[in-house]
Amino acid sequence: MSTSAHLPRLVIAGAGGLIGRHLLRLAEGRYDRIVLTHSDTKLPGVTSVRWDPRAAAKGDERGLASVSEALEGAAGLINLAGSSISAGRLGARHVATLRASRVAAGATLSEALLRCATPPAAWFQASGTNAYADGGEHELDESAPIDVHAPLGEVGIVWEASADPVQHRTRVVIGRMAMVLAPEAEAWRRLLLPIRLGVGGPLGSGRQWWPWIHVDDVVRAILWLVERDDAVGVYNVVAEPVRQIELTRAAARRLRRPALVPVPPFALRIVLGGLADALLLASLRVVPDRLLEEGFEFELLDVDRAVARLLA
């Protein structure tokens, strides 16, 4: 495996998604970037290491050895790997797929790390704010309970547990991330479509709190947490929460469109199944207490500024 001799190494699992792509750009010139990948696609300036978590979890020694070699002496490991939550209706089969993909990736990474003579200095483990229980009007800081009875709460617990076996070998940071907004993000495009057509408006009551973060801030926060020697434990990687209708109106103002057409909950459930409650109708007033207390500086904490950049 050919790497740069003068830059610290950063290993990313799940780099093909939205966050991973932006992380690779931000890390360029700062790190020797290594991605663990299923594909043969080569990225300029990035070292690719083939891995198959399902095979490795079943004892593929060759695969484990290559992952362990990639992790040896790295400055950080960022685990974003796992099937997309929005790729199904959140029925039993989809939840099983979400669990299995995260368990296999986590088991492979933890086993590979335990084989390292010099393990990565930090492991950033992705998670999601949709694992929290619906809090209504209550603020949800990092001490808020995960909803163990909800499908995404169960998935969140499994995902966060990925790094449990290596707590004694490396510094573990868990980032509970909100809906990530970027011009190319599928969630953002879906939100904009009805607004552009003049039929945007409240989803359900529209008063439910939505956690969100701009992609520029989420990748900055991840690297900030990897680089801080005293960062450990759970962090809410979110901006200031906003009500669903406020986010919709902010976009509608920039587009000079109305935002008056309500969508009742039953219609959302017909189209999206369980995803409607998990991602759109739950009220999650998640706050980034630890990031703010420990000095992280957001570029886009306010939703109006974020929307202005997204639609520039």
Residue 80 has pLDDT above 80, yes or no: yes
- Between 215-227 and 18-27, two packed helices, what is the crossing angle to 10 degrees? 60
Domains delineated in the chain: 9-180+213-238 (3.40.50.720)
* Tokens standing for residue 64: 């484990």
Tell me what the mean pLDDT of segment 80-106 comes to: 87
pLDDT grade for 4, boundaries at 50, 70 and 90: low
CA-angle at 222, arms to 216 and 226, nearest 5°: 145
pLDDT tens for 204-214 read 999 999 999 99
Cβ contact 210:242 at 8 Å:
yes
Q: What is the pLDDT of residue 307?
A: 98
**Beta pairing, strands 122-128 & 171-177:** parallel
pLDDT digits (tens, 9 = 90+) for 132-180: 999 999 999 999 999 888 778 989 999 999 999 999 999 999 999 999 9
Percent helix, strand, coil in the chain, to 5, is 45, 20, 40
Q: 223-239: per-residue pLDDT in tens?
A: 999 999 999 999 999 99
The pLDDT, as a whole number, for residue 1 is: 60
Counting residues of the chain whose pLDDT is more than 90, the rounded percentage is: 80
Decide: pTM greater than 0.85: yes
CA distance 200 to 145: 32
Please write the tens of the pLDDT for every residue from 255-310: 999 999 999 999 999 988 888 998 999 999 999 999 999 999 999 999 999 999 99
259-289 exposure pattern, b = at least 16 Cβ within 10 A, e = fewer: beeebeeeebbeebebbbbbbbbbbbbbbbb
Find all residues with CB under 8 Å of 208, minimum gap 6, and list them: 243, 244, 280, 281, 282, 283, 284
Task: Give residue 55's pLDDT.
Answer: 78
Of 49-53, 87-91, 152-156, 242-246, give the lowest mean pLDDT range.
87-91
Q: What's the confidence (pLDDT) of residue 311?
A: 97
